[in-house]
Amino acid sequence: MKKHPFLTLAFILLSMLATSNLLAQTKRSKTQKTAPKKVAAPVFNSETDPPFLNADPHWVDSVFYSLTPDERIAQLIMIPVYSNKNQAHIDSISNLITTYKVGGLIFFQGGPVRQAKMTNRYQRESKVPLMVTLDGEWGLGMRLDSTMRFPYQMALGGLEDEKLIYEMGAEIARQCKRMGIHVNFAPVVDVNNNANNPVIGFRSFSEDKYNVTKKSLAYMKGMQDQHVLASAKHFPGHGDTNVDSHLGLPLLDFSRNRLDSTELYPFRELMAHGLGSVMVAHMNIPVLDNTPNLASTLSKPIVTDLLKGELGFKGLVFTDALNMQGVAKFYPPGVVDVKALLAGNDVLLNTMDVKTTIQEIKKAIKNKEITQAEIDARCRKVLAAKQWVGLDKWQPIETEHLVADLNNPHAQYLNHRLVEESVTLLRNKQNILPIQTLDTLKVAALAIGTTAETDFQRGLARYTNVTNFYLAPNATIAELALLQQQLKNYNLVIAGVHKLQLKAGSGTFGITPEMNLFLKDLILAQPTLVADFGNVYSLAKLEGIDKAAAVIATYQENSLTQDLASQLIFGGIGAKGKLPVTVSNAFKYGDGLTTNGGLRFAYTTPEAVGLKSEDLTGIDSLVAQAIAEQATPGAQVLVAKDGKVIYYKSFGYHTYDNQVPVQNTDLYDMASVTKISTSLAAFMKLKGEGRFDVDQTLGHYLPLMEGSNKENLKYRDILTHQARLKAWIPFWKETVKENGKFKRHTFKADSSAHYPLKVANNLYIHRKYADKIYEQIKESPLNDKPGYVYSDLSFILAPLVVQNITGVGFETYLKENIYEPIGATTLTFNPYKQYPLSRIVPTEVDTLFRKQLLHGTVHDEGAAMLGGLSGHAGLFGDANDLAKLMQLYLNDGTYGGKRIIADHTVSEFSKCQFCAQGNYRALGFDRPAKPGEPNGNAAPSAPAESFGHSGFTGTYTWIDPTNKLVYVFLSNRVNPTRENNKLSKLNTRTQVLEVVYKALKKADQQRKALSIE
């Protein structure tokens, strides 16, 4: 590693200091015959003083005395740098550093790796380590691609827990340090009491000075506790302006009393708590300095007299960017810089002509407008700050894993929490939110301002079936009329307002009269929920919005705000935010209703339940291994804990041709998971209603079995697979002649009244063939010996049993009584009737019976011959909806605030019935045969109380009441052939769950270790 030239010198000087204490008194500069006599340093107050005032004076002295007068001037200059520009720009910055020895850089747009490499180069070339800064109010993502974007300060103004903002400040600081950044120009402490402010607005915490102060103080402390300097801006207060200082010079025509009581209040409070630096704004403030067209940055009465004198600020004073039109249009480069220096600023930000600036400052010294001693004092202050931020021990930035480090799971979860806490519910008529009942709703999801599917719509669809509609900003009258007519068919409209302009200066934020009128009429016509994804002031431009059934403000538009707004609507999370500004007479400062979360699934990260994302990466590895070894072409994996989905990913493709990637919304053939998701679900519901008894017989519920050897089989034995039923019957073989062709009156290539049931493409079975299947089951012999034999037969009969008990068709009963109330709308038989094939994952290429790729129809032959509807196989769905059903089981019959299955029913069914006899099954559910067995039917660490089921096609689901876990693994391992059993050999499904158990154990050990400490 190349060392800085100054470090070598520093080492020599400090060595000399060790042998003689006379160095400081005898060291000579080019401007002085002897160094100034040292005086006792003032006592450092760690509570109120800027932290760098306690910097190591030896390092500061050693560097300071190595500098020429010109180089001391240069330490006060900070130049703009971009990591998204060409090599000529990169080299030009290098030239300025090596030629003029500038003191620092402010980075603007670019990328993290590129900026890191540039920083490393520039630091190596610099005589004195460079102070690197960034304007990152909402984190590095404000300037750099591929990095975190935390919420705008306006959103954070609605939080009630300042600890979260402190954590954000600390995390932003850690990311800054990882990037070699030493100063973040944040927080914005402007009190935004002007809704039409074109430059501050959403960048401010609030219109309330106390709220601004509390939030700013937390942000500041979070950063400075990590040794990154905070910078309060824009002094003396930019919140009540109507001109963008980037474009012109705003006029603040206020009284001094007003400035003292409002604008200056947050600055004074932060200064009293150790604020490290301040950025001075470009504003004309006659009450403080009545010089025409003079920006506050260039005003000595404001910078020196007020900020440094009256307020006693000892930290670094930065100018705002000196190329902004608020100052640049009045003075040329160099001249504007020297004026800023004369006003009292310590650091000149965005100096555009370094050579001229140094010349102008030297001219000012010569003209006695400023002394060399003043320059030296400011130089020392800069050097002290450099030592405090760690530049005395500079190390190059390591670029390996840089992007991953900057997007670490802790930061992602923190961002999630910040947004969740900020989302604000402003209207909730008749407590419509969270939505309580799903099965009576017909929901339209309307995207206003866009014609592409939104993250908000996708988020809503996780909870129930929604139909998407779009209202383009330029919609014609005819299109508006058609949309209005279409929406009348729905009893709930959830409208998201998108693509809003961010700045208040746009006037209407991009809301067109057509959009406004349409939404106003819609709200009056039918129940409408509105989520505003943009600057909260835009609510004032939506006419009649306060009449909506519910109004949600999210403050900005991104995937996370849309995700969490959808969760709030359905009760995954609760509403907590408070409005930080007054938007209109209807929506005022402090408004914000609260609701409870936990009604339905929340979608979050492992950190939300005390786990670490990094400890679940083994899931990705195991599934990747299975795909690489062609154990399955793709998969869906979902893990939920404590009612929160903490892991939900899709892997691979539908088939090995790698054409269609698996999506979370794709449907899989559940195979035998159908048993616990259909037959057992119905039996448990009926049991709770007193209409089904596991100690009653099959003949009691199904007269068809009377007189057979199955009439007196008890359901307790049937559901534990010890009723001596045959494992299965190859029904399809009875339909095939010796020459391989189908027998007459069995199948046809086209559907008709006599052949209505689709078995596969171009294959329809006779409407009465099901009777033959039931007769075959009835006449089948029982096993000679008692004991456990897994059997499909009773589950094939289950639809008949349910229909006999209820008088309702099996699928209708399930959908109306279980699936629709919990929002599990993709759980369905014969998915080809409702979904495009692009969303349905194919299973086997059947070369024996159906002679085709099975796509959209059930894999199991028996279920196929029953028209795709059976109690042992045939159910399709995605992992999310299957998990809802499993969460219902975990909750012992409740989900979404509704009791679906009577209390204690699921817990009774999931108990081991005959463990003493060696049968470890529960009623319908599988349980760990031998807990701890590495190659068993359950994860080795799964407790004995856990239960679930697996499916032949490569599906698996498991429920763990002890750890409050729900696990779903969906795959099509039978593609292209069922002969492929690699998935079982690899134990992928159970090993994935074992990763979760190991993560739980690790988290528990860490908690115990912390409690001991």
Do the Cβ atoms of 549 and 524 come closer than 8 Å? Answer: no
How far apart are the C-alpha atoms of 342 and 369, rounded to whole Å? 7
345 Cβ contact list (under 8 Å, min separation 6): 280, 297, 303, 317, 318, 319
Q: What is the largest CA-CA distance in the chain?
A: 120
Do the Cβ atoms of 568 and 423 come closer than 8 Å? Answer: yes
- Tokens linked to 965: 């876990």
Q: HEC profile for 632-695?
A: CCEEEEEEEECCEEEEEEEEEECCCCCCCECCCCCEEECCCHHHHHHHHHHHHHHHHCCCCCCC
* CA neighbor of 47 nearest in space, from 222, 274, 313: 274
**404 three-class SS:** helix
- Tokens linked to 827: 């759980």
Q: HEC profile for 217-231?
A: HHHHHHHHCCCCEEE
Backbone angles phi, psi at 492, to 5 degrees: -150, 130
Do the Cβ atoms of 687 and 694 come closer than 8 Å? Answer: yes
Rounded to a whole number, what is the distance in angstroms from the first to the last CA of the chain?
A: 39
- Tokens linked to 269: 């409070």
Compute the residue count for the chain. Answer: 1013
* CA neighbor of 450 nearest in space, from 468, 429, 432: 468
Which one-letter amino acid corresponds to residue 910?
S
* Beta partners for residue 448, in sequence order: 471, 497
Q: Considering Cα of 8, then 13, then 17, then 20, what sign does the dihedral take?
A: positive
How far apart are the C-alpha atoms of 60 and 391, rounded to whole Å? 11
How far apart are the C-alpha atoms of 754 and 748, rounded to whole Å? 9
343 Cβ contact list (under 8 Å, min separation 6): 297, 298, 299, 300, 302, 303, 304
- Tokens linked to 783: 């096993």
**505 three-class SS:** helix
How far apart are the C-alpha atoms of 50 and 33, rounded to whole Å? 32
How far apart are the C-alpha atoms of 700 and 694, rounded to whole Å? 11
* CA neighbor of 861 nearest in space, from 849, 851, 869: 849
Peptide bond into 606 cis (omega under 30): no
CA dihedral 355, 356, 358, 364 (to 10 degrees): 170
Q: Where are the alpha helices (DSSP H) in 476-593?
A: 477-487, 513-525, 559-570
- Tokens linked to 933: 């067995």
1000 Cβ contact list (under 8 Å, min separation 6): 611, 963
- Annotated catalytic residues are 246, 320
878 Cβ contact list (under 8 Å, min separation 6): 636, 664, 665, 666, 667, 668, 826, 970
Q: Left, alpha or beta for 490 (phi > 0: left; psi -120 to 50: alpha)?
A: beta
- DSSP 8-state assignment for residue 475: -
R_g (Cα) of the chain, nearest Å:
35
Percentages (nearest 5) of helix, strand, coil residues in the chain: 40, 15, 45
